[in-house]
Structure 1
Amino acid sequence: MAYRDIVGSFWYLHDQAFLKFSRVIQLPHYGVHRYDPDISEAFDLFSKLWKMQKEYRWLLEQNGLERWEIGQIAFRIGQLYVGQYLKNGDTKNLFEAYLSYKAIMDHGYLLDTSINLEIHFLVHFFLLCLMLGRHEMVHLIAAEIKDLYNGFLEEEPMEWKQSFKEIERFHEVDRSFMNMRPLRYSFAFDPHPNSIPNLASGGKERAPILHVAIILGYHPNEVKFGEITLDSLRMLQCLEWEPCGEFAETTRGEGIQGGNSSPNLLQDIRDMSLPPNPQKLIFYRPSITLFLMVITTAWNELPSDKVLLIYLSAGGEGELSLVPSNSRPSSESCGRIMHSFSNIEISYTATSTNKSPVKSSSQRDCSKLQSEPCLWLGPHESEGSNFLYPSDLIPFTRRSLFLVIDSKSSYAFKAIHGAEKGKTTAMLLSPTSQPPTIADSAGHDCCQNGSQFTMFLTAPVQAFCILTGHSMADISKDTFNTAEELLSLSLIEWGTVLLASPELDEVWIDVLRDPLLWRLLLRFIFCRAVLALFKPTNHEEEFLPTCLPQLPESVLPQSEVSQSSLKPIASLFEATDHFDFK
């Protein structure tokens, strides 16, 4: 092939690859298999493009190919890998993206180009490092972005202002997790699945059953970056496996080296030593319509023997508040549909003592509002289209659901229990009031450091330290590791007691089959025990999380196993006096 033909073929392939990328990057992440041919074609085009620039680099550079254009190809490849991760949950896709991004930074492919492009790349790299838990790189990239932003300020001060503020807030929170264990299920800290108590008592073998997790963030003013909030990021990582063994070692040395080796496009990149990760669908403040459409799509693709997890983090405050009703019956039209919700109603809370609430169209059609609790998810002065009703989720109970609701109105979802259409729904519900901490009797600021309930489920040792007034910066890594070992032993003990109980509901037996859900449920038991025995809560129910179906009495906070499990951890942090032990 003549040199001129080579150059022409390269740029034609370049245009085709970038055109396909612009289409693929806009595809929704739900509906996993619908767009597989387009994604495969995009990977194929970029694989050929990368191979061609590697083989004819000298010729292409002589004919106008610049280093930033090579970096842009690697950047697009990394973005494709991130997209694949969002579709299949495989963390090695994140590692492949990391290696591409790291090579771009190490070799300065995007230096001496527009500041816009460089900041755009670094913002993506920052988010990727947050998802991987690469704390040192997070701080390095944050510093580089700050330097670029300061130089960019005089030209266009508003263009990156919001992103930079979000990065600063996330960076500040991330500092306290520098020396902590990974949030993913790690064999270095969590029990190996083979060491988890045998589930033969339930008549079922241990097997991953969590298929997909829908993660939704609605908390106002929460620390976030792009479309990922702090709580959503923690939950995302909590529902994954930490790469280990041979895979963890080999990925450190692979990747793009100065543009002379090819990224592993279209290869089997799974870590075969680990079970597959569930797919995660992450959304920040989606509309109710989109929310229900995503659930419907995931539900339709859910195998009959798998579980769909929905994590919902919301403030629960606004113009609507939930109050119990002693006698008010539901309307005739709603009574036949929502009889189980007839003892709860919605009341409007006036924002001014001088004005009564103005009735909207949703109030005039208020039979549903009067008979059913709901969670307010929309903007102020919005109507029913921004309310999430427990009954909205009931059609999906024909298959296995696992709900984690972190909201001050979480108790509204208790109405689902007993109204399921097929399978019993497993629910973990947050306290309705933020429990006080030793450091701040007014309560921990969930907006600045994330929700306390979510932190107990995803980083329980850190949550315990914050609750008892410890600064994580003052606690050594060895102390944290010891606490993690104690907690791991406690979780195994709680799991053993649960399985030995004849009162354990079948839905929890199914949950305990999956190591990721096993850990989530047992951390909930730890959270409930800590908050129930914590003296400042004074045993008040508003500060305690709940779960449905109810767990056996043998794992209640007052039980011997719960107190004996909590005492060593409290003693390690010299916090025994803060708890009401027998």
Structure 2
Amino acid sequence: MEGDNGITEEERKVVQEFSYLLEKSKQLFNGLRDLPQYGHKQWQSYFCRTFDVYTKLWKFQQQHRITLDTHYGLKRWQIGEVASKIGQLYYHYYLRTSETNYLIESFSFYSAIRARAYYSKVNKEKGPELMVKKLRYYARLIVVCLLLRKMDLIRELIKELSRHIDEYVSLFDTSDKMEWSLVLGEINAFIEADNQVIVVDKDNKQMILSHRLSRDVLPPLEKGCPVYISLQEALIIGNCQEQVKFSELTLDMYRMLQTIEREPDPDLNQSETIIPDSQENSQKVGKRENPHKYLLYKPTFGQFYTFMGTAFKELPPNAALLLYMSADGSSGCDKPQDYGAYDYGGIATNNRKEGNDQRSNNKPSGNLKEMHCVHPGDIYPFTRKPLFLIVDSPNSHVFKGIPNLFGQPVIVLMSPVQLPLAIQERCYVKGNLFTLFLSDPVMAFCSICDITDVTADVWSKCQKVMAKVANDSANLLCKSRGIDHVYMQFYGDEYLRLLILRYIFCYATLRYHRGFKDESFYPQSHPDLRGNDIMENALLHKHVLELASILDVRPVFLEVGETD
């Protein structure tokens, strides 16, 4: 039966139900902002409720599109908004769980918006709000594509975003037009800086390189080798002032994020959307193969301690916490007061100067320390559980004396405190060398040899040598009598094993490079791996020379038996 306005009772119910679901979805989505970013228990039920409503909303608009077009006035940009919110949900769910298949789901919804041109007519609206939503959508899609290494698509998206920014600026006289130009500049700078080495195939087309963990980059555990500890939690912190960043993600953070993730599941059926409707289902889909990660860009000390404390609290038995810090150094007191763990500075996680002007007359300025700085002593409480610490900073060496106070395994891998001037200047833009060795050792090798492009055939040969390096380093590590047992306690975890083996290769490469002549140019570890039969082993030296020969840079390195 039709009413006076030509709408049936059934159609009115469709409109009412859609309006209810739309409003409910907005409320739940906005509520996500109030959830704490740390911890991964209390947010689970809220996320699932939000997913549930958005799933119903998405299916409902598909089933009743004609009715909604006619009697609700549903516009294509509104459908795009729903799809964009679902894409954001999946992206943030990926950040919470570290499960890359949710990242793929985010991409599928974002790419559908572009393929179906949901935002194509927003420039005809009166205000700038919808154009801003369109620009934000592009920025989010580019972040997801970066994490999935869809570099060819990113280049297309950058061109489209640039065109839309120009259109936005020409249509609306707004105060944020400069901000969008800066966003575009950040994206371009990030992409350019990440291209340390260009690998081209036989058709001269650039290959897309992945830094995620795959079967061919890591030697398996020997049969009977015990697994004592697995990596479950990771904090990735970035605050290098000169380093390019995009969307609160520095190059170093971006590289380390991928290094401790597996490649996405290639067998995932993208036609069947994963709905994390329960904790059990989420774990079944992801299998928790990736450690849970927190990404902290320029955290205050309070934020660092909160996130670190939460990760520590939620660490299960026989599990390890990884703390990775890529940041500028913060010097210690002018006159050390014999406080040990706090005298010699640490890592500046944030450069705010709050409180520095509140010096009392009886407090010498030489004792004033940076507020947002992680000192070695700040780490001590967290050594009550297994801790794997990576410090990439000019002040990294202050962490080499962390004591074993609680009998739990602790490893610290520290970057060189100095680099040759030419290398150092490149790192300001291209990311830190130590992190590059941990994420892509062949690319780092090329970088210190000033190699900017190679063929796919040469790259493949280099990867085969790296496989031999990893295998031989693993054998040396497992059979060495002089090595501290703490390394074997972490060795059973594949991510930590990979980081240890790449650290060994980093040391060997820099040790035999003629341009790295000072001890300060080499990475350090705690417990110290030097002084045994691993770090300067002739077999690893030969592999370094083999790699150099393939890349035609052998004269750059010392020959076996040659001294500096």
Instruction: State TM-score, norm by structure 2.
Output: 0.86
Distance 1:552 1:427 in 2: 13
Are the counterparts in 2 of residues 25 and 83 from structure 1 also a CA contact under 8 Å? no
Instruction: Give the structure 2 partner of residue 131 of structure 1.
Output: 147
Q: Cα offset for 1:181?
A: 2.9
2:83 to 55, 61, 74: 74
Instruction: Give the structure 2 partner of residue 409 of structure 1.
Output: 395
Instruction: Give the structure 2 partner of residue 570 of structure 1.
Output: 548
Matches within 5 A, 1:98-137: 98-113=107-122, 114-137=130-153
Distance 1:271 1:478, change over 3 A: farther
Q: Give unmatched runs, 5+ long, in structure 1.
A: 256-261, 348-357, 371-381
Instruction: Give the structure 2 partner of residue 242 of structure 1.
Output: 263
Distance 1:360 1:562, change over 3 A: farther
2:325 to 285, 309, 312: 312
| Cα displacement string for residues 375-400 of structure 1 (whole angstroms, at most 9, x for unaligned residues) | xxxxxxx8542232111110010001
Distance 2:361 2:222 in 1: 53
Matches within 5 A, 1:349-498: 361=359, 383-416=369-402, 418-436=403-421, 441=422, 443-472=424-453, 475-498=454-477
Distance 1:130 1:359, change over 3 A: closer
| Cα displacement string for residues 12-48 of structure 1 (whole angstroms, at most 9, x for unaligned residues) | 1100111100111442331100121211110111011
Q: Cα offset for 1:265?
A: 5.5
Distance 1:141 1:363, change over 3 A: farther
1:144 counterpart SS class:
helix
After superposition, the CA RMSD in angstroms is 2.7
Instruction: Give the structure 2 partner of residue 185 of structure 1.
Output: 213
Q: Cα offset for 1:91?
A: 0.4
Q: Cα offset for 1:128?
A: 0.6
Are the counterparts in 2 of residues 10 and 49 from structure 1 also a CA contact under 8 Å? yes
Distance 1:197 1:567, change over 3 A: farther
Instruction: State TM-score, norm by structure 1.
Output: 0.84
Instruction: Give the structure 2 partner of residue 223 of structure 1.
Output: 244
Instruction: Give the structure 2 partner of residue 172 of structure 1.
Output: 192
Are the counterparts in 1 of residues 480 and 533 from structure 2 also a CA contact under 8 Å? no
| Cα displacement string for residues 348-378 of structure 1 (whole angstroms, at most 9, x for unaligned residues) | xxxxxxxxxx9973895579x86xxxxxxxx
Distance 1:434 1:364, change over 3 A: farther
Q: Cα offset for 1:129?
A: 0.7
Give 1:238's aligned amino acid: T
Aligned length: 521
Distance 1:521 1:363, change over 3 A: farther
Distance 2:438 2:16 in 1: 55
Are the counterparts in 1 of residues 151 and 208 from structure 2 also a CA contact under 8 Å? no
Distance 1:363 1:292 in 2: 30
**Which has the higher mean CA deviation after the structures are superposed, 475-484 or 489-498?**
475-484
Are the counterparts in 1 of residues 103 and 144 from structure 2 also a CA contact under 8 Å? yes
| Cα displacement string for residues 87-126 of structure 1 (whole angstroms, at most 9, x for unaligned residues) | 1110000000011111111111111113211111000000
| Cα displacement string for residues 67-87 of structure 1 (whole angstroms, at most 9, x for unaligned residues) | 111111111111111111111
Give 2:414's aligned amino acid: L
Matches within 5 A, 1:248-263: 250-251=269-270, 254=271
2:515 counterpart SS class:
helix
Distance 1:570 1:364, change over 3 A: farther
Distance 1:468 1:144 in 2: 36
Are the counterparts in 2 of residues 435 and 543 from structure 1 also a CA contact under 8 Å? yes
Q: Percent identity?
A: 28
Instruction: Give the structure 2 partner of residue 27 of structure 1.
Output: 35
Q: Cα offset for 1:272?
A: 6.5
Distance 1:208 1:10, change over 3 A: farther
| Cα displacement string for residues 429-471 of structure 1 (whole angstroms, at most 9, x for unaligned residues) | 00001245xxxx3634223111111101001111111100111
Distance 1:8 1:304 in 2: 50
1:445 counterpart SS class:
helix
Q: Cα offset for 1:197?
A: 3.9
Distance 1:7 1:572, change over 3 A: same
Q: Cα offset for 1:556?
A: 4.1
Distance 1:422 1:362, change over 3 A: farther
Distance 1:524 1:263 in 2: 37
| Cα displacement string for residues 296-326 of structure 1 (whole angstroms, at most 9, x for unaligned residues) | 0110000121010011011216xx3578x9x
Instruction: Give the structure 2 partner of residue 351 of structure 1.
Output: none
